Amino acid sequence: QVQLQLWGAGLLKPSETLSLTCAVYGGSFNNYYWTWIRQSPGKGLEWIGDINHYGATSYNWVLGGRAAISTDTSKNQFSLRLASLTAADMATYYCARRPHSGFDFWSQGDLVTVSS
């Protein structure tokens, strides 16, 4: 069974950079896209971006280039860095796996708070 485990800092200040890492257990790391998604009460679910095992990335343009996703294939892990945080970035963050259609395995959520 595939499991995704997410960890990272939960309380940050405005202008700081969010760093989250997701480890994938079980299944293949190849042949999938590895995705970051967030959920806030005001905006609902929002796709942040994804990466494949080759390192090819795609991002949601609404983030204005603040997001960066990377992988460590030796550890079956991928990471998110989101720069220049504001209160609008407060949300529960998830990592997930994407095969051809849909996000089929998700991590537990990680609540990120941005406050001075």
Shortest spacing between CB 35 and another protein, in angstroms: 8
- Summarize as ranges the residues that interact with another protein (CB under 8 A): 35, 44-47, 58, 60-61, 94, 100-104, 106-109
Residues 6+ apart with CB under 8 A from 6: 20, 21, 22, 93, 94, 95, 107, 108, 109, 110
Residue at token pair 């999938």: 32
State which residue, 44 or 65, has the beta carbon closest to another protein.
Answer: 44
Closest contact distance (angstroms) between CB of 15 and another protein is: 26
Q: How far is the CB of 76 from another protein (least distance, A)?
A: 19
For another protein, the closer of residues 72 and 104 by Cβ is 104
